[in-house]
Amino acid sequence: MEIETKWKDDGALILVTDTDANINKLERIWNAKKEVIFDMFKGCDIKLLYRSGRLEKILTTVFEKPIDDLAGVPWREKSCYA
């Protein structure tokens, strides 16, 4: 599996990709830990991406503010978002 974090125009994202099509680890983890994941990312947008009937990616938006929006704010506000 591959875990990647990105800060894009729509906020900070976590992307988990199942890189081994033969084992399908991500779907087993999702089925076993779905409630834990929802609890960890409460209030966040979680998307499941399927290809050819198997779970290939989980995408979670953890922070919906573009980094450009934080550039000019006072340090106290930046600290609040941290």
Residue 74 has pLDDT above 70, yes or no: yes
Residue 11 has pLDDT above 90, yes or no: no
Q: What is the pLDDT of residue 66?
A: 67
Tokens 């081994």 -> residue: 20
pLDDT band at 52 (very low <50, low <70, confident <90, very high): confident
Element (H, E) at 59: strand 54-63
Neighbours of 23 (CB within 10 A): 11
Find the mean pLDDT for residues 17-41: 88
